[in-house]
Amino acid sequence: MTTTSPAPATLPAVTCAPWCLDGNGHADVPFPEDQVCRGDTVEIELTHRPLVQVDEETWTRETVRLYLLRHPGALRTSVEMYRGELGETVSLTVDEAEALGRALLDAVQQTGAGLGA
Ligand SMILES: [Zn+2]
């Protein structure tokens, strides 16, 4: 006697954001709230901060990291930004992230360094 096992149960795929690393609709997760689109993580090393120990003999530079995030059904994408492995995450709307980016560029330009200097 042969039995056929049922196909694995999956959720209906969601439409991923164009920048989603998964890109396949996250059908393989058990809960709809886990169908989250996440973009590439960008890391910026903090060159003047003390090094941080990541294991017994390995030290590395601390970083600020950010990535795009969109929860299922959400009408907004956010920019999630955090410092280090345990740092508190700051969740910015796209407009807030743009304002922060412009403010950072303005600050850099006031120093005479950076782009075009
Ligand atoms: Zn996705």
86 Cα to the center of ligand 1, angstroms = 25
* Per-residue model confidence as pLDDT tens digits over 12-46: 999 999 999 999 999 999 999 999 999 999 999 99
22 Cα to the center of ligand 1, angstroms = 5
H/E element, 64: strand 63-70
Side-chain half-sphere exposure of 74, counting CA atoms within 13 A:
18
Rounded Cα distance between 5 and 22, Å, is 27
Q: Give the distance from CA 21 to its chain's centroid.
A: 10
* Per-residue model confidence as pLDDT tens digits over 60-113: 999 999 999 998 877 789 999 998 766 789 999 999 999 999 999 999 999 988
Judged against a pLDDT cut of 80, whether residue 2 lies above it is answered with no
Q: Record the tokens describing residue 54, joined without a space.
A: 């990541």
Q: Is 85 left (phi over 0), alpha (psi -120 to 50) or beta?
A: alpha
Q: What is the DSSP letter of 32?
A: G
At 9, the pLDDT band (50, 70, 90 cuts) reads confident
107 Cα to the center of ligand 1, angstroms = 34
Q: Any bridge partners for residue 66, and if so which?
A: 42, 81
Sorted by where each begins, the domain ranges of the chain are 45-110
At 117, the pLDDT band (50, 70, 90 cuts) reads very low
105 Cα to the center of ligand 1, angstroms = 30
24 Cα to the center of ligand 1, angstroms = 6
36 Cα to the center of ligand 1, angstroms = 6
